[in-house]
């Protein structure tokens, strides 16, 4: 039996999780449009057939990876809500949270890739709406519904511009802009 590779135990849930995490990494590097079964399998360290066994279509594979990213986003929004709930200066706190969010550019690129993909694929819209509605909903108690919508749009635009230009956000400027939009 020399020369044979030892077989790893097969754990379907661990493989699904590894593939979902690999999708996020591949999307961060090359975007959704250039994500392939082959690239995801290579990143996960699994045979190519594993991706198609668990996810017959590329859309299934990408949706699973984006759902994985969305769960992490939900957890982050919950943490933001807790921070804003105790903030003495919600505008400065939110600006700091957004700047901190952008510290992980890879993750932010995945989430904004999702926006673009959701514009083309209605099946992905619920995942994209996690950020859209989640940010707005956590702001409503602090700003009211109209200002929450406006601040969420401001944050979206600021993050998108920072990603597109590979620049940092100025925390003080963002906080000042948020204050102008809130009562």
Minimal CA–CA distance to 82: which of 97, 100, 69? 97
> For residue 171, what are its two tokens?
């925390």
C-alpha distances out from residue 173 to 84, 115, 181, Å: 18, 25, 13
Rounded average pLDDT per 10-residue block, the chain, 183 residues: 52 91 90 92 94 92 86 90 95 97 89 80 80 91 95 95 95 98 91
pTM: 0.80
What was the pLDDT predicted at 123?
Answer: 77
Minimal CA–CA distance to 37: which of 73, 14, 64, 5? 64
What was the pLDDT predicted at 6?
Answer: 44
C-alpha distances out from residue 138 to 3, 69, 152, 156, Å: 57, 19, 10, 15
Task: Give yes or no for a contact between 114 and 66, defined as CB atoms under 8 angstroms apart.
Answer: yes
> For residue 158, what are its two tokens?
């600021």
Q: Which of helix, strand or coil describes residue 61? A: helix
Q: Which fold has domain 12-181?
A: Tetracycline Repressor; domain 2 (1.10.357)
What was the pLDDT predicted at 2?
Answer: 52
Rounded-to-integer distance, Cα 157 and Cα 162, Å: 9
Minimal CA–CA distance to 27: which of 65, 70, 73? 65
Q: How many CB atoms sit inside 10 A of residue 100's CB?
A: 13
Q: How far apart are the first and last CA of the chain?
A: 74
Domain boundaries, the chain: 12-181
């Amino acid at each position: 039996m020399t020369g044979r590779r030892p077989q790893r135990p097969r754990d379907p849930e661990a493989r699904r999780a590894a593939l979902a995490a690999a999708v996020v990494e591949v999307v961060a590097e090359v975007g959704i449009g250039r994500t392939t079964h082959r690239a995801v399998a290579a990143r996960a360290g699994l045979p190519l057939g594993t991706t198609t066994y668990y996810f017959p279509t590329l859309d299934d594979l990408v949706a699973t990876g984006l759902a994985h990213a969305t769960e992490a986003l939900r957890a982050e929004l919950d943490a933001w809500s807790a921070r804003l709930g105790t903030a003495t200066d919600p505008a400065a706190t939110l600006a700091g949270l957004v700047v901190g969010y952008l510290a992980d550019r890879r993750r932010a690129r995945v989430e904004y890739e999702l926006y673009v993909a959701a514009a083309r694929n209605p099946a992905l819209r619920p995942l994209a709406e996690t950020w859209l509605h989640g940010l707005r909903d956590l702001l409503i108690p602090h700003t009211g519904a109209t200002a929450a919508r406006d601040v969420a749009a401001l944050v979206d635009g600021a993050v998108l511009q920072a990603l597109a230009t590979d620049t940092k956000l100025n925390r003080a400027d963002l906080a000042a802009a948020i204050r102008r939009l809130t009562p």
